Amino acid sequence: MGGGRTRLLVILCCATSYACAGDAHLRSPWDLHPITPVDAEYRCPNVPALPQDFATNSYYSDPHHSIIDPILKKKYEDSVAGIDDFSRDVVKAADAFQTSGNRSAAHCVDFLLRNAARQKALAGTMEGHQAVYVQGWNLGAWSVAYLKVRNSGAFKDEDGREIAEWLKKLAHANREYYDLKTRHGGPSDAHNNHLYWAGFAIAAAAIASDDRGLFRWGLDAYKEGAHDIAKDGTLPMEMDRGQMALHYHLYALAPLIMIAEFADANGIDLYSEHGFSIKRLVARCVAALEDPSFFQQHTGVQQVTTPEIAAWEISWAQPYTRRFPDAKISELMSKAPRLNYTMLGGLPPP
């Protein structure tokens, strides 16, 4: 068999199985754009006490999970305040390194995550589904922050291993929640936007820990999402969210794009999955950012919208338009005051 034909078969094998024997370590999109470190000051905050076990509450008061109970929402926000503040600090430092090469900022990420790992933050018992969501959202933020600085030279090998093993443990715990729900069957949060966010977080942690089993799980979450997208670009389970249907379509889109970017960094094309169905979801969401009437007509209720385009609604557009240029999407992105969303790990891939 000729060498060219052999190489083609190997490529096809890799694309199908997500990995081949002897492959290099898993890569992130940030690995493809090396940063030159520079010496500069960076004020790193102290590490707060972070919980190992965690319990919190949902804050919706109706069966569609669309109407927020303000008392429950305040209780939830109070419960996650310390964790959210920590994640913002980690992500801010990681983005400072990415945007300026600030070596001290990279050292700050090392310091913060290493201390969180030693506290076994969120690695214990998660009481209730909302606690699992919080675990997953923060796992994604912490993993991406780590990926943004892991090649900065700021980490000792043993520090990097300690952080990666902690992230891997969180990923396995988060995955088990969705695997258990899937085994029980039927519609659930194991088949809607929560699965996609878990896929994003677990894929990021998989790259950090070089775990191909976890990476495949994250990519499979994208594949399920791609097959969930209807011909009209909607996600059926998110259409059942009443006044929050548009909100949750946008919220589902962001992690899907990020998973596709993780896959692409490793030579795997997910964008074409299910006939490029992600493009239909993008088109539906973009149209609704300008005119939400489609969602109002199909849900029968006026949609909850933001007064200006928020980072979580549009930051996915930066990597997406690099692959699929679109003047309208770029225009909407330019209207956003910022593109850094903490639960996506801050600024999107360049």
Instruction: Confirm whether 3 is domain-assigned.
Output: no
35's CB contacts (< 8 A; 6+ apart) are 97, 98, 101, 151, 152
Q: How confident is the model at residue 112 (pLDDT cuts 50, 70, 90)?
A: very high
Q: Print the domain residue range for 90.
A: 28-344
Instruction: Confirm whether 42 is domain-assigned.
Output: yes
Domain tally for the chain?
Answer: 1
Instruction: Confirm whether 14 is domain-assigned.
Output: no
Mean pLDDT for 150-165 is: 94
Cα-Cα-Cα-Cα torsion 309, 311, 317, 322, nearest 10 degrees, comes to: 130
Tell me how far CA of residue 87 lies from CA of 74, 138, 152, 338, 346, in angstroms: 19, 7, 20, 17, 10
Instruction: Confirm whether 5 is domain-assigned.
Output: no
3-state secondary structure at position 346: strand
pLDDT (tens digit per residue) in 211-225: 999 999 999 999 999
Give the residue carrying structure tokens 């949902």: 58
158's CB contacts (< 8 A; 6+ apart) are none
Q: Does position 92 have pLDDT exceeding 50, yes or no?
A: yes
pLDDT (tens digit per residue) in 249-271: 999 999 999 999 999 999 999 99
Q: How confident is the model at residue 6 (pLDDT cuts 50, 70, 90)?
A: very low
Comparing 203 with 7, the larger pLDDT belongs to 203
Q: First vs last Cα of the chain: how many Å apart? A: 40
Q: Does position 9 have pLDDT exceeding 90, yes or no?
A: no
Lowest mean pLDDT among 182-191, 280-289, 326-335: 182-191
Q: Does position 315 have pLDDT exceeding 50, yes or no?
A: yes
DSSP state of 31: G
Instruction: Confirm whether 322 is domain-assigned.
Output: yes
251's CB contacts (< 8 A; 6+ apart) are 193, 312
DSSP state of 87: H
Instruction: Confirm whether 249 is domain-assigned.
Output: yes
Instruction: Confirm whether 4 is domain-assigned.
Output: no
323's CB contacts (< 8 A; 6+ apart) are 271
DSSP H helical ranges for the chain: 3-17, 70-100, 103-118, 129-149, 157-184, 193-209, 212-228, 236-239, 245-265, 273-290, 293-299, 311-314, 317-323, 327-334
Q: Residue 78 maps to which CATH number?
A: 1.50.10.100
Answer for the pair 347, 339: CB distance below 8 angstroms, yes or no: yes
What pLDDT does 188 receive? 87
What pLDDT does 23 receive? 60
Mean pLDDT for 127-155 is: 97
What pLDDT does 24 receive? 86
**58 vs 66: CA distance, rounded Å:** 11
pLDDT (tens digit per residue) in 38-52: 999 999 999 999 999
Mean pLDDT for 338-349 is: 97
What pLDDT does 12 receive? 39
Percent of the chain at pLDDT exceeding 70? 93
Answer for the pair 306, 337: CB distance below 8 angstroms, yes or no: no
Instruction: Confirm whether 187 is domain-assigned.
Output: yes
Q: Does position 4 have pLDDT exceeding 80, yes or no?
A: no
